[in-house]
Amino acid sequence: MKAVHFGAGNIGRGFIGLLLHQSGYEVAFVDVNDTLVSLLQTKRQYTVKLANEQADTFLVDQVTALDGKNMAWVAETIAAVDLVTTAVGVSVLKHIAATIAKGIELRLAGSREPLHIIACENALGGSTTLKHLVYEHLSPGNRALADRLVAFPDAAVDRIVPLQQNEDPLLVTVEPFYEWTIDRSAVLPGHQEIAGVHYVDQLEPYIERKLFTVNTGHCCAAYHGYLKGYMTIQEAMKDLSIVAEVRGALQESGAALIQTYQFDEAAHSQYIEQILERFINPYLVDEIVRIGRSPIRKLSPQDRLVRPALLANQYGITVTHLTNAMAAALHFDYADDPEAVELQEMIKKHGIHRTLTEYTGLSGQSPLHSRAAEQYQQLEQWGPARKGMIER
């Protein structure tokens, strides 16, 4: 079996590539990073190391890489594989859509074998988004054929893979835990199930539970940690006031999830505690600026802070920690993150109220808006503390 995977980065190599390899796939990675592509082409293998006491390792071999800038080459390869996966970042999907469409076109000209395309990004409906982007490049005839022969099952991917600091540039250190959940209802007959993947009939509860627990809690720790001058999540999670903020936010998002999906309360509490344990894994060094990256995306209406806060608010659940995390996100002034820079410019130019409305979609009438704005002013006190800690 053959697969093309877009994005030979942390999740690409450390999670998706590993599981596909273990299921018997030969994986061709597509990336625009010339160094990564050339190393994978030369070595044809890499190692995944688990962040645990034993530092278990896994060899992933029979891999290769394609230059993502070479559309014709990538499209020809897609035409002949069983599976296409992506882990490039949700905002990059639009840049790979034309190449995937070209691959589908070539494939449909000569084959009636089904093709599955799965976006493994931190987003609701990632594969569906990719499908819409790809369809923009297909002729009406090919769209009709693709409706029958090409499936885009949505998926949720959960494994913490930090920025890598290894001497071997292909080695990737990952947390031991993983969960890859795929919407079975969108899978076509003939799909060979990927070992280790959890296929479910209804994905929504799984992806919302993951995004609004793992990702909500993680960014909450990151934004509060950044404000207090910590560099890693592991450092931030030693600060009890930050742990209280994170736990509080997860209780709010958890209460909303329990109401929406009738999750068992005790089981959900256990899920939260398991995730807090994962955040403090002492064998990982996870930089706060990675978890906090792209604050505009993270503050958007469908993402990990605003959506659970809106849901909770609808159910009459008091929301203070999620709004406090939004307020902390609005203080994330990391100069190397283009979205953080844009956000800070907007606040400077137009003030906190207009910024909140513009990026979170919360109107000035929303109680969540007023609370976040008020908390933003209260958190101002941490600015000097942060600078002091960073200078020390």
Ligand X SMILES: O=P(O)(O)OC[C@H]1O[C@](O)(CO)[C@@H](O)[C@@H]1O
Judged by the rule CB under 6 A, the positions of this chain that interact with ligand NAI are 6-12, 30-33, 36, 68, 87-90, 92, 95-96, 121-122, 157, 159-161
Asked if residue 124 binds ligand X (CB under 6 A), the reply is: no
Q: Interface mask (CB under 6 A) for ligand X, residues 197-236, using x and -?
A: -----------------xx--xx-----------------
Contact 31, 263 (CB under 8 A): no
The site for ligand X, by CB under 6 A, has a size of: 10
For residue 80, the surrounding DSSP H or E stretch is none
For 36, 212, 254, 290, the CA distances from 10, given in Å and listed in that order, are 11, 21, 28, 12
Cβ of residue 105: shortest distance to ligand NAI, in angstroms? 19
Q: What SS3 state is found at 94?
A: helix
* CA–CA dist 35, 282 (Å, integer): 30
Among ligand X, ligand NAI, none, what does residue 12 contact (CB within 5–8 Å per kind)? Answer: ligand NAI
86 binds ligand X (CB under 6 A): no
Which of ligand X, ligand NAI, none has residue 293 at its interface (CB below 5 to 8 Å by kind)? ligand X
- Exactly one of 66, 124, 160, 255 binds ligand X (CB under 6 A); that residue is 160
Residue 290: CB minimum distance to ligand NAI, A:
8
Does residue number 84 form part of the binding site for ligand X (CB under 6 A)? no
174 bridge partner residues: 50
For residue 198, report the phi and psi dihedrals to the nearest 5 degrees. -100, 110
Q: Which two tokens mark 274? A: 């398991």
Question: Min. distance of Cβ 301 from ligand X in angstroms?
Answer: 15
Smallest gap, in angstroms, from Cβ of residue 279 to ligand X? Answer: 8
Closest distance of CB 158 from ligand X, Å: 6
For position 122 contacting ligand X by CB under 6 A, the verdict is yes
Residue by residue, DSSP assigns 254-295 as HHHHHHHH---HHHHHHHHHHHHHHHT-TT---BHHHHT--H
Q: In what order do the strands lie in the sheet with 57-61?
A: 57-61, 45-50, 172-174
Q: Where are the beta strands (DSSP E) in 147-230?
A: 150-151, 155-158, 172-174, 179-183, 197-200
Please list every residue from 292 through 321 that binds ligand X, using CB under 6 A.
293-294
What is the CB neighbour count within 10 angstroms for residue 314?
A: 11
- Least separation in angstroms between residue 187's CB and ligand NAI is 21
In the complex with ligand NAI, which residue's Cβ is closer, 10 or 142?
A: 10
Stretch of 70-78, 129-137, 287-295, 310-318 lying at the interface with ligand X (CB under 6 A): 287-295
Q: Which residues bind ligand X (CB under 6 A)?
A: 122, 158, 160, 214-215, 218-219, 291, 293-294
